[in-house]
Each structure stands twice: as structure tokens, then as C-alpha cells.
């Protein structure tokens, strides 16, 4: 069971709409959607946009309601051991234009660079600026990630601790990304 401290949203939270939104957000399937979006390093509310619009239609478009939804989501995720990673992340959708992204407290942010002549040749480091990349290759910035799920799926990194150790001792880890699908 989740606890909510409405603070500046008390009057809205005590309304029928506020109670309905809280009940909606705390449903196990919606908590799972919030966490899945967060696991993918996306703003949490991206995981519930469609369901939120289906359930509340135009009622969720009011700025104050969206703000309360964000406030509620933060408290739900904090009670599930997530921490705020970044606020005001641009979201290209309806109903949100900006939202907060969450991460696990033990996550570490990595940056990936691609070899300009071989996009499957990737270097992972802990710095975007002045990263210690292997010489003799033109590297282009590719992605930022912190989620162990993204590390495993996108870069084939199975042991995030080992990656951190390699980056700490050598400045980077070079990986070769295998082709996932081949043409018949």
C-alpha cells in the first residue's frame, strides 16, 4: 500500500478526481508501467500516457492535474526505492510536455561512442566530454544509459559491475555489437 502526502495538492487530491487518479496510479499494472519506463531511462509517466488518457480523457489535460500526477508518481516511485534522476525532461506526447525521469540509487551513467566507419564498434565510458577514447578512430557520440537493462539489450553488457571496474581502470570498455537480425 502506498502513502501519499498531497502537500500543495490537498484540495485537488481530496476531490473525486484526485482520489480516482491516486487509485489509478497505484494499481499494480500502472506501477509496473511507471517502473518499466524508468528502467528504460524514460520519464516514468511515458509508461502510463495512453492508460491515463483512456481513463480520464480531457480531465487530465489541466496543468494542475498533470502537476499532481507528477507529484504522485514521484512519491510512488520513491516508495519503491527509485530516486529522481532529472526533472523537466522533454516529452513529445499528450498529455505531458515535460516530466521527471527516475533511476535506481546504485545506477551509474555511461556514455557510448560509435566508430564512424564501423557502427558496431562501440566504446563505453563514464564521460561525454573529454572521454579517453582509443586513438586512430573517429568516434561519434551515440547514447547515454544507466539502466542495466539497456546495457544488456543495447550493448551486450551482462555484468554492470565489471563494466564499471573496466571503465574506472582503463577509461573505457570497447564492445562489438552483434547484428540482431539478418536478412534471409
Among 64, 61, 69, 87, residue whose Cα is nearest residue 30: 69
Q: Residues 176, 121: contact at Cβ < 8 Å?
A: yes
> Is the pLDDT at 67 greater than 90, yes or no?
yes
Strand partners, 118: 115
Q: What is the pTM of this model?
A: 0.74
Query: Using one digit for the tens of pLDDT, what is the confidence trace for 33-61?
Result: 999 999 888 999 999 999 999 999 999 99
**Quick one: 7 exposed, middle or buried, by C-beta within 10 A (0-12, 13-18, 19+)?**
exposed
Model pLDDT, residue 40: 85
If you average pLDDT over every residue of the chain, what do you get? 94
Query: Using one digit for the tens of pLDDT, what is the confidence trace for 130-179?
Result: 999 999 999 999 998 888 888 998 999 999 999 999 999 999 999 999 87
Amino acid at each position: 500500500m502506498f502513502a501519499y502526502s498531497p502537500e500543495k495538492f490537498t484540495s485537488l487530491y481530496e476531490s473525486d478526481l484526485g482520489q480516482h487518479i491516486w487509485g489509478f496510479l497505484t494499481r499494480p499494472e500502472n506501477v509496473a508501467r511507471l517502473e518499466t519506463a524508468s528502467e528504460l531511462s524514460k520519464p516514468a509517466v511515458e509508461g502510463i500516457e495512453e492508460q491515463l488518457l483512456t481513463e480520464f480523457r480531457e480531465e487530465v489535460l489541466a496543468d494542475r492535474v498533470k502537476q499532481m500526477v507528477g507529484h504522485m508518481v514521484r512519491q510512488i516511485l520513491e516508495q519503491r526505492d527509485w530516486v529522481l534522476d532529472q526533472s523537466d525532461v522533454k516529452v513529445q506526447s499528450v498529455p505531458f510536455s515535460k516530466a521527471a525521469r527516475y533511476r535506481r540509487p546504485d545506477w551509474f551513467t555511461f556514455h557510448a561512442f560509435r566508430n564512424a566507419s564501423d557502427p558496431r564498434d562501440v566504446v563505453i565510458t563514464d564521460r561525454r566530454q573529454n572521454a579517453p577514447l582509443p586513438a586512430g578512430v573517429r568516434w561519434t557520440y551515440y547514447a547515454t544509459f544507466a539502466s542495466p537493462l539497456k546495457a544488456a539489450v543495447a550493448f551486450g553488457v551482462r555484468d554492470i559491475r565489471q563494466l564499471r571496474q573496466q571503465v574506472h581502470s582503463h577509461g573505457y570498455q570497447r564492445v562489438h555489437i552483434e547484428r540482431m537480425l539478418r536478412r534471409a
